[in-house]
Every structure is written in structure tokens, then in C-alpha cells.
Amino acid sequence: MVNIHEPGPLEGRLDHWPVLATFGALEVRLAETEAEVEAAQRLRYRVFYEEMAAIPSPAMREARRDFDHFDEFCDHLLVIDRERAEEDGQPAVVGTYRLLREVDAKRAGGYYTASEFDLSPMLAHQPAGANLLELGRSCVLKAYRSKPATMQLLWRGLMVYLTRFSIDLMFGCASFSGTDPQALALPLSYLHHFHAMPEAMRVRAIPSQYVDMNLMAKDAVDPKEAIRALPPMLKGYLRAGVFVGDGAVIDRQFHTTDVFIYCPMTSVDPRYKNRFRMHAVA
């Protein structure tokens, strides 16, 4: 059984959070040091550039880390295996999520997602004082993807974080492997027809990068087959109650096809919240 630990009151940046949840030798918590952030970046490099088909910059290839200027403004959620060691002897990071709150996005000059999608309709419809969170760079080491506890720990850690900061809306990109939209016609069309964002605030892919997701008529889409074709992370988002923006984007660097995900916390299925035990935090 996964044990949940809740953080206490914090001031300023997220320093010295306790372990948020554990399962055997695995634990989930936030990175507290530069070395831990670099460990998350090394994991991202292994998954995105070595296992998948992303193209690293020369600096990334030399450092064997995935990084950009947003990293220093983000919180990094880590799943750590205490029985496995990094090269420096520290416990190994085997799963990670990058979290960017609105207050830190302002310091960073905006959101990463804005490089692919026009966020202005969504942002314009947020009430004053709404707390926004961008999700990104999620990945799990290959050997741990078949262990349900790893992804569950990431989700549970995320839920504690959402509660701690009273997040009203989370959003970001979800990715399909590959850059051929026709090969993804079924799942893309399914998302377009069955999970579209409300029209008034619908986020749309930037015109120069816009790829139509309406590749099949609605009555030609088999929802069960389409769901089977979705990446595991996107399936999880849909179970939570997310909506999807208009248009996909081809990311040549990461060799992916990206869609925009939109999840107001009021739309999250209560059963999903209960499953991951979203408790109030003092």
C-alpha cells in the first residue's frame, strides 16, 4: 500500500518538502538541490534522446542532460529508488514531472506551452486570482514503466502539490510518438470529436504550426480502438477529466505530435481524486 505524507506550511520556494508518498523502496518528493534537478535532466535525456528519437543540442549531448531556461523556474517532482544509485552515489531518479506555476511563469517570461499553442483565449477566461499550473517533461525510466507504483507515485505527488497551492487549472502538452498525423488519425480524431475544450476559451495551435486533428468523421471513429491507441499518460489525463485544444503540433526536435491538454480542477472526476487521496494541506 502506498503511504501518503503531507507537507506542512512552507514559505517562498519549495524547500525541504518531506517525502510525499512511498511504495517499498520508491518515494516521491520535490527536488531540493541542483544535483537532484540535474538527475531529473539526465533521466529526461535517457528517455527522450537515447530511447526515443529526440535530437539534442550539442550542449545537451555533451552534458547528457535535457535542459532549457524554464528548468530554473520550475519545481521538479521526482520518483526516487532508494535501492538504486546514480553515478554520484545518490539515490536514482526513475520518474519525473516538471511543474511551472503562474507566479514562476511570469519570472520565466511565459509558459513553455506557448511556443506551440496560443494560450490567450484560455488565459482571458480565467477569473481573477486563479492559480494555474503548467505540466511538462514527464517521463519514467523504461525498467519502471511496467511497475504501476511508479506512475501512481507521480500522480499522488502531483495531487498533493495541487492541493498545497490551491491550483484551479492545470494544462500543458501531451505527446504522441512520431510525426505523421495520418498514422495518428484515429486517436487525434477521437480527441477532436469527443474531448474538445469549451469553444469560448479553446486553445488553438499557433497558425504556422497548426495540424488539423479532424482527420476522420465522428461516426467513423471507434472510441474503444482510439483509446487503445492513446499513450498511457494521455489515457490517464482523460480519466482525470481533461479537455483538448484545437489542432496538433509537430515537434521535430522531440519527434512527437503534441496536443494541448486543459484540466480545470472542477472537472476532475471525484473518483479520481479519491483514488489519489487529495487531502487538504495545513
Quick one: three-class SS letters along 8-62? Answer: CCCCCCCCCCCCCEEECCEEEEECCCHHHHHHHHHHHHHHHHHHCCCCCCHHHHH
User: How wide is the angle at C-alpha 3 spanned by C-alphas 99 and 171, nearest 5°?
Assistant: 20
CA torsion sign, 15 to 18 to 23 to 26?
A: positive
C-alpha to C-alpha distance for 72 and 175, rounded to whole angstroms: 23
pLDDT of residue 267: 79
The torsion angles phi and psi of 198, rounded to 5 degrees, stand at -55, 135
Residue linked to cell 505523421: 180
Closest CA to 220 of 189, 259, 184: 189
CB 47 within 8 A of CB 68: no
**Boundaries of every domain in the chain:** 1-98+137-167, 111-130+168-282
What is the identity of the amino acid at 112? Answer: Y
Helix and strand numbers, DSSP H then E, in the chain? 9, 12
SS3 (DSSP) at 125: coil
Give 204's contacts (C-beta < 8 A, 6+ positions apart).
Answer: 117, 118, 121, 210, 245, 246, 247
Q: Going by CATH, does the domain composed of 1-98+137-167 fall within 3.40.630?
A: yes
- pLDDT value of position 226: 97
What is the reported pTM?
A: 0.88
Other beta carbons within 10 angstroms of residue 229's beta carbon come to 17
In which residue ranges of the chain is pLDDT below 50?
A: 1-15, 278-282
Max alpha carbon distance in the chain (Å)?
Answer: 55
